Amino acid sequence: MAEIVTVDIGGTHARFAIAEVEDGRVLSLGPETTLKTAEHGSFRLAWETFAMQVAREQGRPLPRAAGIAIACPVGGEVLKLTNNPWIIRPALIPERLGVDSYTLVNDFGAVGHAVAQVGPEHLRHLCGPDIPLPPEGVTTIVGPGTGLGVGQLLRRREQSFVIETEGGHIDFAPLDAIDDAILVRLRARYRRVSVERIVSGPGLISIYEALASIEGRPIQPLDDKSLWTAALEGSDSLAAAALDRFCQSLGAVAGDLALAQGGTSVVIAGGLGLRLAGQLPNSGFRQRFVAKGRFESRMAKLPVKLITHPQPGLFGAAAAYAQEHTQ
């Protein structure tokens, strides 16, 4: 058994915890510490803040190993985060953080590693047959948040392989007149409209504005947070309609990706996943997910789950380290 520091770095927050790993798996995940990235000049300075907290509360230094999930592609000599001014140079991680070994993984790749290792208690059934994720084949992972994360988990002969993708940037395919209206509005704003423009946190505003235009209503200026709150509470009928359209689009995109990847199951993740737990089963998500013409019967047989682990990024970063450094 070994202890490691596990880290999940996003645009707004950097989360830290200490995990125990053994034989390629995560045994335990300690309580997380969440720091605002805007309050720290670099990853190293945030790391040192966490180190001081552990020294103060537990009277010991940090473990000399780390699993690090970061919200950007992890290839190259210099990593620049989206929506975060930090710059990370992987070659300098051992020296600057004082670690002997580390694993660096994309943030949504970490979610894939979490899906590979969490127990069934952290996978809530959404639709399709209520069965566990298959032990063989591809699990398509789709995560709406600030953007749209997409990955896949390939299981073969009791081994798991996480494959990171940029599937959130495929073209948006309208399926009815309302989708057409949404696309027209977005095409006037962007040269190319990807699914991330609709199926993400900011996408709800685009849907809301399109529905307001169809209804001939004045568009009320709302920020992301206020609109999502109104939509989830159902206090605004137009916002609630936009949320149902969002769920339909998420179902359509998840189904398209499962077809493209040869998925035998699907997991919904991302920052909005848990917030939508009560809406997805009662929305048009399933209808759009299975509505794939000649493949409708195949799609109806796929189990669709929602990952409910409270810190999939931290857990997944630890899982990625455990898999890479299995003795």
Q: What is the mean pLDDT of residues 114-120?
A: 94
23 among the known binding-site residues? no
Q: Which residues pair with 16 in a beta bridge?
A: 7, 33
7 among the known binding-site residues? yes
Whether residues 90 and 219 share a domain: the answer is no
Query: Contact 297/258 with Cβ under 8 angstroms?
Result: no
Output the domain CATH number for residue 188. Answer: 3.40.367.20
Domain containing 313: what range? Answer: 2-118+309-324
- Total tally of structural domains belonging to the chain: 2
Whether residues 279 and 295 share a domain: the answer is yes
**Range with lowest mean pLDDT among 73-82, 97-106, 182-191:** 73-82
93 among the known binding-site residues? no
The reply to whether 59 falls in a domain is yes
89 phi/psi in degrees, rounded to 5: -110, 105
Whether residues 181 and 260 share a domain: the answer is yes
Q: How would you classify the pairing of strands 65-70 and 101-106?
A: parallel
Token pair listed for 283: 């929305």
Whether residues 285 and 314 share a domain: the answer is no
Whether residues 207 and 290 share a domain: the answer is yes
Residues 244-276 have pLDDT tens digits of: 999 999 999 999 999 999 999 999 998 888 899
The reply to whether 273 falls in a domain is yes
The CA radius of gyration of the chain, in Å to the nearest whole number, is: 20
Token pair listed for 260: 């493209």
First to last CA, the chain: 10
Output the domain CATH number for residue 102. Answer: 3.30.420.40
The reply to whether 89 falls in a domain is yes
Whether residues 237 and 315 share a domain: the answer is no
Residues 204-222 have pLDDT tens digits of: 999 999 999 889 988 777 7
Per-residue pLDDT at 327: 55
Per-residue confidence at 80, pLDDT binned at 50, 70, 90? confident
168 among the known binding-site residues? no
34 among the known binding-site residues? no
